[in-house]
Each structure stands twice: as structure tokens, then as C-alpha cells.
Amino acid sequence: MAFRGVVVTGMTAAVVLMALPAQAAPTCAKVKCIALTFDDGPGTETGALLSLFRKERVKATFFLVGKHVERRPALVKRMAREGHEIGNHSWSHASLPTLFDEQVTQELLTTQEAIASVTGRPPRLFRPPYGHTDDRVLGLAKDAGLAQVLWSGTTLDWKLRDQKKIKAVILKLARRDGVILMHDTVPQTVQVMPEVIEELKKRGYHLVTVSTLLKGRRLAAGESYPAAP
């Protein structure tokens, strides 16, 4: 912050300390970073996950389903307040390439509006449900002001439904600057997350949002990141 380095004393010092950010985002060019991403929420388990992240000072990225945003706005507000990144995961979790143009646009824009009405700003990132996407969907996302975020590793946690297996696959997929796909709607994923965080930290990872991972580079609307494996 601008105040850093200014010589201050007494009461002024206290004011300056309060003005400093509680926790600056790490510089991923210098340290080992990884982005944990959670799709399909907010769900019934999301509050517990947010409490864990707050305790562990972890930032994550949530790709939200619009109709769930409408159901659980308080959780969305909390995500934004606590410094997590929020992305668009369509309104109804539709396979977007199967829809007409105007339907794709509606899926994206209604979700943009739902999130903006809660957090005050529309997302800049979207992740296509099931990873189903094509050039047409990407073009329509661009028109909606969205960049596409895929993943470097997918856990298939929704299929595994087993804490030990989910932990093992996350740790196997973990790599520097990786984007790991999980679901906060899978209870076993949320339950095993304390162990996962502990192990990732032990391995030297900083757990950050997708945007922090990009080291200050801003994804343009219509851009896709990272390339699917």
C-alpha cells in the first residue's frame, strides 16, 4: 500500500497499520502457487469450507450455478467479502454447446446479474458445465465479457465420493501453477479439505485464486485458460 515506508509515530502508526492489507496476495512468480477451484455451488457444505479457508488463510475460486446463487445469496456475499474469486458456471448447469445462441447468452447473463446483485460486480471468469465448450460458446462468452477457465487437473470427486481417494488424487494432480477442479457440493471433498490443505502447505504451496495465479496478467474476455490436458 502507499503508506508503506513512511516514518510515523504514536497514534498515526496505529492508523497506518490498520490501513495495510490484512494479507497481501503472494507473488506467484516468486513462490509456488496452486489454485483450488470449486464448481456447482453454493451448496449446503460451502459455509463449512469458507470457515476452514478463513482459519487457514486460503483463497479459492468458486464457479457458481446461477440458480444456487439465488437460493443462497448470503454464502456468495461471504465468498466475496472473504477475498475468494467468483466465477460463472451458467444458470442451470446446462451443456452449453447443445443450446441455441440466445439460450447460451441467457444462461451466462442471468448468472452474471444474480452474482452482481449480491456482490456488486459481475464475474470476469466462467467455467463451462461438464467442460463442454466450443468456439461458438467461447465467442458468446466473450460477448458477455467472460474469459473461460478450464483446469490442469480434475479430481472427479463427484464420482469418487471417498475422502481418501479424493485426497490422493488432489495430491497427485498438484503442481506449481496448477488449477484443480473440485466440487463444494461433494461432502467428502469438503470433509477431507483440512488434510489436503495441510499437505499442500507442507509441500510449499500457496493456495490462491485463479487471478492471483496469473501473476497480474488479466485474462481477456473470450480467452481460455489453461489449455485442457
Interacting residues toward Zn ion by CB under 5 A: 39-40, 129
Catalytic residue among 68, 89, 183, 206: 183
Q: By the 8 A CB rule, do 150 and 131 touch?
A: yes
Instruction: Report the residue number, 83 or 129, with the smaller CB distance to Zn ion.
Output: 129
Smallest distance from the beta carbon of 209 to Zn ion, in angstroms?
A: 18
Instruction: Report the residue number, 63 or 225, with the smaller CB distance to Zn ion.
Output: 63
Catalytic residue among 39, 40, 157, 184: 39
Smallest distance from the beta carbon of 185 to Zn ion, in angstroms?
A: 9
Q: What are residue 208's DSSP bridge partners?
A: 35
Smallest distance from the beta carbon of 21 to Zn ion, in angstroms?
A: 32
Instruction: Report the residue number, 28 or 69, with the smaller CB distance to Zn ion.
Output: 69
Instruction: Report the residue number, 39 or 85, with the smaller CB distance to Zn ion.
Output: 39
Smallest distance from the beta carbon of 167 to Zn ion, in angstroms?
A: 21
The set of cell numbers assigned to 115 is: 452474482
Whether 183 is a known active-site residue: answer yes
Q: Which residues contact 186 (CB under 8 A, 6 or more apart)?
A: 45, 157, 158, 161, 166
> What are the distances in angstroms from CA 195 to CA 53, 161, 198?
12, 16, 5
Q: By the 8 A CB rule, do 180 and 155 touch?
A: yes
Cα(139)–Cα(23) distance, rounded to whole angstroms?
Answer: 36
Whether 132 is a known active-site residue: answer no
Tell me which residues are annotated as active site. 39, 183
